[in-house]
Structure 1
Amino acid sequence: MTAPIPTRVHYHRQTRELELGYADGTTYRLSAEYLRVYSPSAEVRGHGPDTAKLQTGMKHVGLTNITQAGRYALKLHFDDGHDTGLYSWDYLHDLAVHQDAYWADYLKRLEAAGASREPLGIPVRQL
């Protein structure tokens, strides 16, 4: 099944949330942190479940830019320098619909690893 394509994409800088609006009136707000820790890039996901890298210290990450990749995806540019991986419309919709379950799983994995959402040092934003 192909996911719907958003009719509106808006980044809220204050709250660091990406808003996706759809033709049926449904909207979702996804935090930049959530999008960063679930980046579809090989750097994050690895080349299989055993090679995925748990993302830590991303609580304050934001977006510096959003570019469209063809007619099928967005490329998100994070202020920590991460900008690899394309967020297809299908992947973004999946992240939106399953946000609560995926976030709970992420928090569980962080706890199991003894890791934190908090950065280790003072966050420095790239401009």
Structure 2
Amino acid sequence: MAGLQSGSPTPQDLTVHGQSRVLEVSFSDGQTFRIPFELMRVYSPSAEVQGHGPGQEVLQTGKREVDLVGLEPVGNYAVQPTFSDGHDSGIYSWDFLYFLGSQQDQLWADYEARLQAAGVDRDAPMPEKAGHSCGGH
């Protein structure tokens, strides 16, 4: 999902709502999504979160209060947010933002199931990083 699929809806408007911690995105097909910063952060498309292959995903916790402190355009196909916890390596294509917005209920359910399976609380602090040296972070 790194690029823009031909014929895919494109954003017409992006609004950062800091107080309610959501990114509102209106697309060319008439859909408007309010994507919580926490959801964006825990599903970041970065290697730091997704890993470098299947099964290497890093479960994110303690992100309920995360803020969006920057949002930079990447060409004409994506944005790169900077979160208040310092995470800034995810590039969110228009397709990926549409996916996050349209699949929110399922993504939240999957996230909660992953937390439960790991025996971790959503608000638990992230463990310290140790031994990861891919050089991309």
Q: Does 1:111 align with 2:116?
A: yes
- In 2, Cα distance between equivalents of 1:120 and 1:40: 20
- In 2, Cα distance between equivalents of 1:120 and 1:35: 17
- In 2, Cα distance between equivalents of 1:58 and 1:32: 8
Amino acid corresponding to residue 63 of structure 1 in structure 2:
L
Amino acid corresponding to residue 37 of structure 2 in structure 1:
A
Q: In the TM superposition, what are the counterparts of 1:1-127 in structure 2 within 5 Å? A: 1-2=5-6, 3-120=8-125
TM-score calculated relative to the size of structure 2: 0.83
- In 2, Cα distance between equivalents of 1:90 and 1:24: 13
- In 2, Cα distance between equivalents of 1:98 and 1:120: 26
Contact 1:6 1:21 in 2 (8 A): yes
In structure 2, the residue corresponding to 1:49 is in which secondary structure?
coil
- Counterpart of 1:125 in structure 2 is none
Structure 1 gap segments, 5+ residues each: 122-127
Contact 2:9 2:29 in 1 (8 A): no
Amino acid corresponding to residue 53 of structure 1 in structure 2:
V
| 1:21-70 deviation per Cα after TM superposition (whole angstroms, max 9, x unaligned) | 12343210000000000000000000112111000111111100101000
Contact 1:59 1:119 in 2 (8 A): no
Structure 2 gap segments, 5+ residues each: 127-137
TM-score calculated relative to the size of structure 1: 0.89
- In 2, Cα distance between equivalents of 1:64 and 1:9: 14
Superposition RMSD in Å:
1.5
